[in-house]
Amino acid sequence: MKIGALFIFILLSLDQLTKHLAKAFIQLSDPDIIWIPHVLQLAYRENRGASGSMLQDQQFLFMIVTIIALAMFGYLFLEVDFKQKKTYSWAVVLFIAGTLGNAIDRALLGYVIDFLHYPFLDLILDLFNLSNFYNNFADLYLSLGIVLFAVDLFFFETKRKKETPHDHVQSTK
């Protein structure tokens, strides 16, 4: 669990550092910084809502959801084991780091700093009215955490359940 806590700290620090750098440097740039044409742009945004700026200014709701999520992730964190359950452990670490990263912004600033934009997704996101989709490292952590959790659940958890303790015991006869 100590290694999991260390990874959470490192990821959370990276998230907060990139957000502060975005506020200090990208906020002043006009127009947006095109890092990789048609793939990645950097643009400072203050998001007072959820993903895609949905549920604007619902800070109390976000606080309740964050507390519930952190309680659930904390419970899952009890099973973190980077030797036996790598994928599961990374998923839980990413969930916690991502949730805390955006919670810190909401608590201290009243909004989440977003600065990553993916122009190649605009056409698809326009279909769902999410054309102004910007995110940050905490959001990426949460997205990757969901993928890893699903992979663990569908592929590795079933293998772990099939194994029994006697499968690993060598006979001394």
Report phi then psi at 27, rounded to 5: -55, -30
CA-based nearest residue to 149, from 71, 95, 110, 68: 95
d(CA 57, CA 93): 28
Task: Report DSSP letters for 11-32, one per residue.
Answer: HHHHHHHHHHHIIIIITT-SS-
Residue 83 DSSP SS3: coil
Q: How many CB atoms lie within 10 A of CB 127?
A: 8
Q: How many CB atoms lie within 10 A of CB 132?
A: 15
Question: For the chain, what is the radius of gyration of the CA atoms?
Answer: 19
CA distances from 83 to 4, 79, 90 (A): 11, 11, 11
Catalytic residue numbers? Answer: 114, 139
